[in-house]
Amino acid sequence: MGLMTGKKGVIFGVSNKRGIAYAIAEKLFHEGADIAFTYAGDIMKDRVEPLAAEMQSKLCISCDVNNEAEIKEVFNQCRAVYGTIDFIIHAVAFANREDLTGNFSDTSFEGWNLALGVSAYSLIPMARYAKDMMNDGGSIVALSYLGSERSVPNYNVMGVAKAALEANVRYLASEFGPRGIRVNSLSAGPIKTLAAKGIDGFDILLKVNAARSPMKRNVTLDEVGNAGLYLCSDLSSGVSGETHHVDCGYHSVATTKADALIIGVQAD
């Protein structure tokens, strides 16, 4: 029997096999989970449907998270197919390319609304429509990044969106906790995915993270997948309202010996 045997849930944000949502889905599936998938638009449909079929999914449905009616319909369909559910993965993010480069102070109101709407607000209607169909012991997991807590070059408005997302998680954890439902953020280190390609200078970010992290490397998709499995399964039954970093320890570092070289002083 697997860690997720008998558990059913929905994943928002699968794009292809190099994405974080797919890595988590794969782990959940191999541990026995029954997974519904969503996709944003026809291009994603062609990519996501075969992946959903690979995991014997009973439900693969269109959902642009900008459209609350579509989010509601996902949960209506989940109710029709599964009755109740045990987990939700929120792995959806978007910002205009021009808002992921240059000066943060140039962020437009429209760009801000778009990034925060898709990447942060969307968790709230998901939780609302899932509330009365989630089982005791259920888990909601939202994908985040350290740019929520510290400034990261070019991450800009997405950092603000992730800060809002993590705050959403804490408020939902408080509201849903008495019903036995846990809500957590999974803060992954940088991984070269479709979405990451939109962030200016992402290749440099990868190199800097690997060099400065205590483990001297970047996190793998497999490791983030395992952490997603942990947060969805009963292994994390006592964990809620948490921002769980899976980034080879990078978030814990303020200064490294190598930083001394950058400013040209001798390290001890």
Dmax of the chain from CA atoms? 65
- CA dist., res. 6 & res. 71, Å (int): 24
| Residue 155 annotated among the catalytic residues of the structure | yes
> Contact with ligand NAD (CB under 6 A): which of 29, 121, 145, 176?
145
Residue number, 4 or 14, with CB nearest to ligand NAD: 14
Task: Write each residue from 178 to 197 as x if it is in contact with ligand NAD (CB under 6 A), else as -, in one continuous string.
Answer: ----------x-xx-xxxx-
Task: Let me know if 82 is a catalytic residue.
Answer: no
Closest separation between CB of residue 205 and ligand NAD, Å? 8
Both tokens of residue 184? 């957590």
Please identify, using beta-carbon distances, which residue of 19 and 111 lies nearer to ligand NAD.
19
Give me the torsion for CA of 214, 219, 225, 226, rounded to 10°. Answer: -30
Active-site residue identified among 121, 145, 230, 250? 145
Alpha-carbon gap, residue 95 to 157, rounded angstroms? 8
Q: In what order do the strands lie in the sheet with 8-12?
A: 60-62, 34-39, 8-12, 85-90, 134-144, 182-188, 243-246
> Applying CB under 6 A, does 44 fall inside the site for ligand NAD?
yes
Residues near ligand NAD, by CB under 6 A: 13-15, 19-21, 40, 44, 63-66, 91-94, 118, 143-145, 188, 190-191, 193-196
Which positions are catalytic?
145, 155
